[in-house]
Structure 1
Amino acid sequence: MKKKKVLLIGWDAADWQIIGPLLAKGEMPALKRIIDNGVFGNMSTMNPPYSPMLWTSVATGKTPDKHGVLGFIELMPDLKGIQPVTAYSRKSRTIWNILHNKGYKSNLVGWWPSYPAEPINGVVISDKFQKVSTDPTKPSVLPEDAIHPKDKYDEFKDLRMFPYEVTSEHVLPFIPRAKEIDQEKNKSIQILSRVLSHNTSVHNAATRLLRTSEWDFMAVYYDFIDHLCHSFMKYYPPKLDNVSQHEYEVYQDVIKGAYRFQDMMLERKLELIDEDTTVIVMSDHGYESGDRRIVKMPNVQAAPALEHRQFGMFAAMGPNIKKNEKIFGLGLIDIAPTLLHLFDLPIGRDMDGKPVLEMFKESKKPSFIDSWDDLDGDFAELDKDNSNSSVEFSDQETMEQLIELGYIERPDEKIETAILKTKCDLKHNLARVYLGKKDYARSKEILLELIKEEASIDKAPYYMDLITISLKYKEYDEAEKYLKAIRESETSVVYNLFFSEADILLGKGFPEKALKVYRAIISLKPNPEVWYKIGEIEYLLIRFEEAKIAFENAIELEPDRAKYHRALAECYVELGEYEEAVEYAFTSIELVKFYPAAHFVLGRALEKMGDLENAKLAYETAERLQPQNYERSKIAKENVAELQSLSSENSGREYLKHSEDQIVVVSGLPRSGTSLMMQMLAKGGQQILTDENRKADTSNPKGYYEYDPVMNIHKDNSWLSEAKNKSVKIVAPLLKYLDAKYRYKIIFMTRDLNEVVKSQQIMRGKDPETMPLRLMDSYQNLLKGVKIWKDREPGVEMIYVDYKDALETPEDVVSKVVEFIGKDTLDTQAMVSCVDKKLYRNRSKKVEK
């Protein structure tokens, strides 16, 4: 039996948008070899996209709140200072710890963070190894605990390359016009030299291990692309307006050179492995290379991360890997479970990721254990209790590099201030992790603690996140309060508050005002997210053609955002262009395979096309991906199955069958006959949900049949559970707040709009002959919106009953209603007999006899 071997290579910030053109020109042949002989796809990142956090998630299969690495720097073990993040921060076992426990041999080179080196079965060249001084007069002492085992120290310490060893021959492939640079004023060559030397050191150690050691698993991490992007991406083609022509011409080749050099290092590693080795090349996030690049970074925590894109890259080849096939839905937390599965080891149920089974030609069902962290035994872990004495971390070089790259600010001269700020940054990062996981309650709890910190801390970033959470909770007054706090704060950062302002306006029911804000933004600069927001509002306002144009503009500016394609698919469904809807839904799924909303809209489009079998599959997928919160998919799947059954039975039944716990809703515009229908149902023996707080009067002499909580359904719809197997009156504007987990039979009362408005005018003590035209238009749009809403909701069936018909031909109406509800126990005679035609007042002139 052949021995399983896996080589994992991390390229920080590598992005398909830059790789694609280079592959087409034949300038990255090593990566092309992997793609041609394996699988490839997007790699979705996490929030916040800070590299030490992300690469630890790769190694553990867990999100940062679980694994404990929360930033670039941390407090020292004695809590009296700060230092670059170390392996001591990690509180979950990594893939190499687990493999050690199971007797496998692993090599680790440059992983961030991996210092101090862990005593695994194999070799660890930690991330402290390559961090050397740029000053030739200063010694770069390599701590003994930077390498494991210690007997490898002498073998590897001399493989380090120093920045001052970089020559013009090394620089010119990246900056052909380097001689034009004044190095006294411009530090660009020094930056390139440092990053180049560091990554060459990593490569030297990696290739030495590949040539001279036996191993089962090996992981190598390079920050080459990421660090050069932070310094030189603003010069990458196409030229940005605020970059000078001379600087553009001098530095435009640096990024392309970084990718080509990385590919050359990959080519050498591929030469040193055999065909039985599985190779994975991946990045933790992408990097903006178009119009969204930032020339001058704002003064916020880890500002360069603002240019990190949502998607990194992934490519793999090996003996059991499919060939030349794109795979979808990959996330950083999926790597560790996939590696465990590759080694036939169980996956921890406490891991947030899942094995990427789609990449294998043949794959058995994965096995699971509760947690690798709870097992006893030798996992080659660091002694956390001894961390204070064991870390030799006077690492000014690493701190300076992080400062120069903009990931951290230069620590305050007062150590107390630096410690406080670091504590706050780490807590804020944790809050952002919870925010990314949609655990809004925990995130908010931390943020509310942070805004109570002393005045020297800039609290504007905390308020920004609190606005996001308030909007998620639909607490618009709270969001407005935090927005005001930012505007009144003394922050040095200029925040773009347009999004927050518009979202608050939209939440408070002013879509046209929100749209005006977004259109003002878009007139200044094209922005895909703003176009998306414009599309959402136009969609909400039932202007689907305008929404379609907005979503198309968003896709043109950023074609790999799944939600833009999903939104456009929904537009096409509403426009009746179902084939186009299917196409964009599929594109959305290709970008993010595990996207329940995209599978749901695919199901809607296929159902409209009559492809019920595939529609059912799409709904099943949406339900499976989000079983707790996607009841609509479950109901839609059941509806399709019933439609298939009806088709085969040829029963002629018009409505879906009566459902257990269904809710009968009587709706319509105010004064459209809803009280009459509620009275008919009550007389027929249908249970009514009413508190009878609103008493009968001259406008409704037989009662209103209302239930007070209905008026606050937009804030709280949990009371709907009380309406199961009953009838409740809910006016038309509130229907959209129904909980999608229930099934509803809606009897929608219609009436001539002139009569409705006239009746309302009398009830309000206004002149009944004065017709408010804006109100009439609003009602017409509302009625149109109800029809569209009903069509989107699989749990909703609706019939229309005209008020005039209910009064003049009650027998026909009762027969229709009873058949619709699906209950044969209602007293139809009682329902008919309760109708009083004398109550048909405020008739429109055109219907009077």
Structure 2
Amino acid sequence: MRRRGSLILVAAALVTAVAAVSVLRVRPGDIAVVSWRGGGTPDLRTPGLSLRVPLLQRVQVYPRGAVIVRATLATASREGSALDLPYTVKAQPDPQTLLRLHREGGDGGATAAVRALVEEQLTKAAAATGTFDLASGSAAAAIAASTERALDEKLGPGLVLSLGRPILPAEVRASFERAAIYGRRVETGAHVVLVGIDGADWDMIDALGARGRVPNLARLKREGAWARLRSSVPTLSPLLWTTVATGKTPDRHGINDFLVADPRTGRKVPINSTFRRTKAIWNILTEAGLPSDIIAWWATWPAESIQGHLISDRVAYSTFDLSRQKQGAVHPPEYASIVETLRVPDESVTYQQVARFLHISPEQFRRARGLAAGRDAGRGRGNGEGPSVESETEVSINLMTRVLASTETYRRVALDLLDRESREGAPARLFAVYFQGVDEVNHRFAHCAPPQAALCPEGDYRRFKDAVAEFYAYQDEILGEILKRARGATVIVMSDHGFASGAGRPKDVKPFIEGKPGLWHDLTGIFMAHGPLTKRGEIAPVTLLDIAPTLLYVLGLPVPEDMPGRVVEEALASDFVAAHPVIRVPSYEGLESPAAPGSVPIAQGTGGVEGDDATEQAIRKQLKDLGYIGGGGAGPVSPGPTTAIPGPAEPGRQGAAGEARGSPAGVPTVLYHANLGAVYVSKKQYEQAETEFQKALLIDPSSAPALSGMAIVEEGRGNLDRALEYLQSVVRLETGADYATLIKMAALFTRMGKSADGVAYMRGLEPGHDGGDLRELGLRVALGMLYSATGRPREAETALLRALAIEPTSVAAMQELFALYDGQGRSAELRPMIQAALGKNPRSAMHHNWLGLVLRRQGDLKGAEEEFRKTLEAAPDLVGALANLGSLYLQEGRVDDAVAVLKQALLKDARNPESRTNLIVALGMKHDLEGARQLVKDAEGMGQRAPLFYNALAYALHVNGRNAEALEPLRESLRIDPRQPDALKLQSEIENARPSDQIPYR
């Protein structure tokens, strides 16, 4: 009996135990997944009590519903360098997503699934990142952001990824050691002279060269290698010339505006070397033991200690006390006393010198200089700009005086160093001198250059019409003096951007209107290389990023992988290139590099040198007179007025804007952030761009550049409605400069399928946009676009003809009108209008392109080819013109020429549909069907599934007798768009075995 009782107790205990282990307790906030061992469908268990089957079911609890992974990924950089990348990721998926991930992860559950997804993306990101950026951690934020964005849909918006410090193999770490890098240098014996001419433009040089006015520039182009130089956006000198000096983009080198806020005082001060975060070429040459002379380069004050000479960009200001600031002005400091004797003060410039450029009277000169002297005296007494107000003419006279003094100062210093080192038999390996005068004179006088424009009154035209051309001639004379002293050197002459001239000048805005300098800048600058190591003739376009790698290469130094530019080998002699293969190293920055955004400036060792108020005021005055900055004071930066018109609300994004005070090097100025945002936009790094634009808007909620930048960001993300809201905020500001904004809004309304709403919006703006000016031009073009999209061709035609009546050379208006007329078979009617526009602006690439299309439609193939060639002469990168020329060659049966041109077009823009379509056809005509198929596969790999590509492949197969195979791509095309008359016709011809003479793209 006692034994039976014991058994009952044991059984009861077992039952209790089984019951206990069969009950699953999930704590509040946690989520559990219960799955059967050996298979079956898992299920979710929410907080509370539930049953499970012991031994047969497995439980995985996710605390707070989160999936956390801490791991290290073995990965490799773009160049193939292996390293280990520690990371931590926390995902917060919704319950159903968590259940799906748990199933996908198998025995490892959701943790394994999240790890697999994250590591797949990290591996891709690492493979697209340079060794330096990966190893130093400078790309960590960008990699984390791109991975979070890529997995947002699969894992939910709560994903947070952080990367640890990379673990480097010994051989990778050793590749960053200075001895290893500089030990790979080879002696080339080269000496390089680099002459930077800000704003120099081929249109002006070629025109003046034909008249014999710039013989030195003309000779270099005739005897050396030359190219069009592609500038970068924004086209602002401090950014661009620092890109030249560092080989890095502004988000890396840290120079992003003319003015920055001193992190110690918050006062706006001119940009200087203490804000640069990467090594310039003179730092690299110093570490390599090679002397360099650097004169007047942007953002070089305070001067760094280098091997050679560095003459900073503040030396030429008359207000700058060189005797007191030797340490910061010049390196070595002992050369400052010589520079002092070479300086040309503003007050020493004579009437005769200025009269070479400006047709003014001695009395006008004396009055202007008297006002300047009073202003400078007031500045010296701490009275700011002084008591007198200068007229526009007097500002122009004083600015020309100042430009001449500065140019002469740096000319004298440059010639002194060349002569001195020639006598000593020890020339610098790199001699670099920068001249700003051409850009400055253009900014003040280009609107008054011939032919006379409406912006320039008759009196100003008489006074200032020769200023730009004469200054080019003067700059050419200086170049000639340098060339005489640089015999045997490889000479590179370049500009950072071009400048509008002739009929290509803006019609409504003078080049010195405050805060709008970029309106007159042209994205095409000049590049020339001349000397014993160079070739002769035109070469492919170069970029600002190509200059530093090319200089390092010519001087025998390795080219770092973290410089995104290339060596311009095609400019150099073949035997030199053959004897000196390019040597690559990860970076000159070192693993503790400050190159990441938000890091410490590299030139901080120049600290302890104080700027002086008088010189900083003089610099601000100069920038204001040139239109580079507005008229704001130098006081501390503060948030803008609360009454400003804001953009759309930013729920959930306050963190980005709230970091404004923690910007790189403590420089929270509106334009700094807006410019940096534009750089990120150009790289399609939208998270970083948004952060910068929001910082700008925190300072000034009515900043048009920041609002427009946010519109680009949202458009890039596919949020067209939010992009439209930001652009509407820009229009509400009523700045009078919404021409491009209205046209962009019309395109967005159309893409959103809301063209009728767009018409109503634009019609509402008509009362304030009816002045026959640039504002009305933008509105009429926008209405033309929207009327076309809503199927109202007559109203579209009326709006566009009105736009062309306002501005007959308008590219935007003609583009829309050409599309409208061409679709109606009326393109020939546009021929007189296009030719009239070319009469006003013979360099308009798009008008030549349209004329070529008209002539082709009319059967004048020779005339069309000539116009397409003129198009490409004016704009070598205009891919549409290359596609048109290739299509023309196909029509003429010149298949080899067509293939060559179309391959060139596709290299410039792999996503251009016309180029790809025509090249597929051309390869088919050359019987290269594998090549044609590969072009379609490549497009599919980029997410492009255009019916034209499949039609072209079908045609290529058809003309090669592969009819059965041709039907397959045709069916794919018609699946995408069943309403294609050309495709249906081709399908009928193939099925009925009839030959086709219809090329898929006209």
Tell me the TM-score normalized by structure 2.
0.60
Deviations 1:729-769 (A, max 9, x none): xxxxxxxxxxxxx993248999xxxxxxxxxxxxxxxxxxx
Give the 3-state SS of the residue equivalent to 1:280 in structure 2. strand
Q: Summarize the Cα distance change of 1:637–1:349 in structure 2 as closer, same or farther, 3 Å threshold.
A: farther
Aligned counterparts, 1:428-443, within 5 A: 428-437=674-683, 439=685, 442-443=688-689
What is the alpha-carbon root mean square deviation over aligned residues?
4.4
2:898 pairs with one of 615, 619, 634: 615
Deviation at 1:177, TM superposition (A): 3.2
Name the counterpart of 2:284.
Answer: 98
Summarize deviations over 1:469-520 as a string: whole Å, max 9, x none. Answer: 5666775544443343233336576666542354345544542466654433
Amino acid at match of 2:413: A
Q: How does 1:270-309 map to 2 (within 5 A)?
A: 270-274=483-487, 276-291=488-503, 292-293=505-506, 297=510, 302-309=515-522
> 2:207 aligned with 1:21, yes or no?
yes
Partner of 2:396: 188
What is the rounded CA distance, in whole Å, between the counterparts of 2:840 and 2:327 in structure 1? 50
**Residue identity matched to 1:157:** E
In 2, are the aligned partners of 1:579 and 1:605 still within 8 Å (CA)? Answer: no
Matched, 1:257 2:470: yes
> What displacement does 1:339 show?
1.8
Q: CA deviation at 1:238?
A: 1.8
Match for residue 423 of structure 1? 669
- Tell me the distance in 1 between the aligned counterparts of 2:934 and 2:729: 52
- Cα distance, 1:314 vs. partner? 2.5
1:405 aligns with 2:626: yes
* C-alpha separation in 2, matches of 1:633 and 1:238: 38
After superposition, where does 1:618-629 map in structure 2 within 5 Å? 618-626=901-909, 629=911
Distance in structure 1 (CA, Å) of the matches to 2:691 and 2:814: 30
Match of 2:970 in 1: 745
> Secondary structure of 1:247's partner?
helix
Which residues in structure 2 correspond to 1:294-443 (within 5 Å)?
Answer: 297=510, 302-323=515-536, 325-362=537-574, 363-364=577-578, 366-374=582-590, 384-386=603-605, 389-392=608-611, 394=613, 395-412=616-633, 414-417=635-638, 423-437=669-683, 439=685, 442-443=688-689
Distance change in 2, residues 1:522/1:662 (3 Å) = closer
Q: Would you say the 8 A contact 1:568–1:584 is kept in 2?
A: yes
Shift of 1:426: 0.9
Structure 2 counterpart of 1:205: 413
Matched, 1:248 2:248: no
Give 1:39's match in structure 2, choosing from 206, 219, 225: 225
Aligned length: 683
Q: Would you say the 8 A contact 2:243–2:250 is kept in 1?
A: yes
Q: Deviations over 1:804-827 (max 9, x none)?
A: xxxxxxxx96x879x9xxxxxxxx
Matched, 1:156 2:372: no
Question: AA paired with 1:212?
Answer: R
Q: Which amino acid aligns with 2:638?
A: T
1:244-277 CA-partner distances (Å, limit 9, x unpaired): 3222212222222211211111121122121x11
Instruction: Give the superposition deviation at 1:143.
Output: 4.3
Q: How does 1:581-596 map to 2 (within 5 A)?
A: 582-593=865-876, 596=879
Structure of higher RCO (CA pairs closer than 8 Å, 6+ residues apart) = 1
> Is 2:273 the counterpart of 1:80?
no
Counterpart contact for 2:730–2:738, Cα < 8 Å: no
**Normalization by structure 1: what TM-score?**
0.70
Q: Distance in 2 between matches of 1:298 and 1:28?
A: 24
- Residues 595 and 367 (structure 1 numbering): CA distance in 2 closer, same or farther, change over 3 Å? farther
For each residue in 1:790-849, what CA deviation from the matched residue of structure 2 results, as whole angstroms up to 9, or x when unmatched? Answer: 6xxxxxx973459xxxxxxxxx96x879x9xxxxxxxxxxxxxxxxxxxxxxxxxxxxxx
Please say if residues 447 and 511 of structure 2, whose CA atoms lie closer than 8 Å, have aligned partners that are also in contact.
no
Corresponding residue number in structure 2 for 1:529: 811
Amino acid at match of 1:146: A
1:143–1:382 CA distance, 2 compared to 1 (3 A): farther
Q: Are the counterparts in 1 of residues 275 and 603 from structure 2 also a CA contact under 8 Å?
A: no
**Alignment partner of 1:219 is 2:432:** yes
State the identity %.
25
Q: Which amino acid aligns with 1:373?
A: E
CA deviation after TM superposition for structure 1 residue 431, in Å = 1.8
> For 1:229 and 1:800, how far apart are their aligned partners in 2?
59
Q: Name the residue aligned to 2:725.
A: 481
Superposed CA deviations along residues 634-677 of structure 1, whole A, max 9, x for unmatched, are 675555444333899xxxxxxx999998999xxxxxxxxxxxxx
Measure how far apart 1:439 and its partner are.
4.8
Does the CA contact (< 8 Å) of 2:539 and 2:571 recur in 1?
yes
State the alpha-carbon separation in 2 of the partners of residues 662 and 624 from structure 1: 13
The C-alpha deviation readout for 1:543-574, integer Å capped at 9, x for no partner, is 44457777666655555465665566566666
Tell me if structure 1 keeps the 8 A contact 2:344–2:408: yes
Q: Is the CA contact (8 Å cut-off) linking 1:748 and 1:801 kept in structure 2?
A: no
1:341-740 pair list within 5 angstroms = 341-362=553-574, 363-364=577-578, 366-374=582-590, 384-386=603-605, 389-392=608-611, 394=613, 395-412=616-633, 414-417=635-638, 423-437=669-683, 439=685, 442-444=688-690, 446-447=692-693, 450-451=696-697, 453=698, 457-468=701-712, 476-489=720-733, 491=735, 497-504=741-748, 506-507=750-751, 508=753, 510=786, 511=788, 512=793, 516-535=798-817, 537-538=819-820, 541=823, 543=825, 544-545=827-828, 557-560=840-843, 578-580=861-863, 582-593=865-876, 596-626=879-909, 629=911, 637=919, 639-645=921-927
| 8 Å Cα contact 2:243/2:249 also seen in 1 | yes
State the shift of 1:34 in Å.
Answer: 1.8
* Structure 1 position 195, deviation (Å): 1.1
Q: Identify if the C-alpha distance between structure 1 residues 58 and 560 changes in structure 2 by more than 3 Å, giving closer, same or farther.
A: farther
Which segments of 5 or more consecutive residues in structure 2 lack a partner in the other structure? 1-186, 372-390, 422-426, 641-659, 661-666, 756-785, 951-966, 997-1002
Structure 2 residue identity aligned to 1:209:
L
Q: Which residue of 1 aligns with 2:53?
A: none
Secondary structure, in 3 states, of the residue corresponding to 1:158? helix
Residue 294 of structure 2: aligned partner: 108
Q: Which residue type is aligned with residue 339 of structure 1?
A: L
Change (3 A) 1:558 1:176: closer
CA apart distance, 1:19:
2.5
One of 157, 182, 190 as aligned partner of 1:4: 190
Query: Which residue identity does 1:158 align to in structure 2?
Result: T
Correspondence for 1:799: 986
User: Could you give the per-residue CA deviations for residues 554-609 of structure 1, whole angstroms, max 9, x where no partner exists?
Assistant: 65555546566556656666666555554444444444545555444443332332
Corresponding residue SS for 1:7: strand
Q: Secondary structure at the match of 1:396?
A: helix
Q: CA deviation at 1:530?
A: 2.6
The DSSP-based 3-state class of the residue aligned with 2:432 is strand
Query: Do the aligned residues in 2 keep the contact of 1:663 with 1:743 (CA within 8 Å)?
Result: no
Distance 2:620 2:454 in 1: 32
Pick the aligned partner of 1:120 from 277, 300, 306: 306
Decide whether the 8 Å contact of 1:502 with 1:515 is kept in 2. no
